[in-house]
Amino acid sequence: MMTRRQLLGTAIAGSAAFVGGATLVGIPAAQALTEQPMPPAVAADYLAGCTATNVAGHSDLISKTLAILKGEIASGAKPAGAEEIVTCPICGCRMVVTASN
């Protein structure tokens, strides 16, 4: 009977031999991520960050979150003083949204 250590060592050695053999045969290694250029509109928003040009994006995010929060308060899912913390996907700013906003 094999111990866990022997079994693990055999499995590691076997997988290393398989990967090494595949590389020698000419099979390229699998790649999970690809790099793509950023679209110009997204790049402009990303570079603008929290400047005055991006305020419209923040107000849209706040208004959508406020609508969801008011709906949850009205349905009784959240208490009247509930608040949501949202993060801008472009610049990373954190904003606190309350029902009184």
For 52-81, write each residue's pLDDT tens digit.
545 567 888 888 999 999 999 999 899 988
Q: Is the pLDDT of residue 82 over 80?
A: yes
More confident residue, 22 or 36: 36
96 domain-assigned? yes
77 domain-assigned? yes
Give Cα 1 distance to the centre of its chain: 45
pLDDT given for residue 43 in this prediction: 80
User: Which three-class secondary structure state does DSSP give residue 13?
Assistant: helix
Tokens of 55: 């305020």
Give Cα 58 distance to the centre of its chain: 18
Q: Is the pLDDT of residue 86 over 70?
A: yes
- Considering the chain, what is the average pLDDT of its residues? 77
Domain hosting residue 65, numbered range? 55-101
Structural contact between residues 54 and 45, judged by C-beta atoms closer than 8 angstroms = yes
13 domain-assigned? no
Residues in the chain: 101
Q: How far apart are CA 73 and CA 67, in angstroms?
A: 10
78 domain-assigned? yes
Q: How far apart are CA 6 and CA 95, in angstroms?
A: 53
45 domain-assigned? no
Q: How far apart are CA 4 and CA 8, in angstroms?
A: 6
pLDDT band for 49, please (50, 70, 90 cuts): low
43 domain-assigned? no
Q: Domains in the chain: how many in total? A: 1
91 domain-assigned? yes
Q: How far apart are CA 24 and CA 21, in angstroms?
A: 5
Q: Is the pTM of this model over 0.75?
A: no
72 domain-assigned? yes
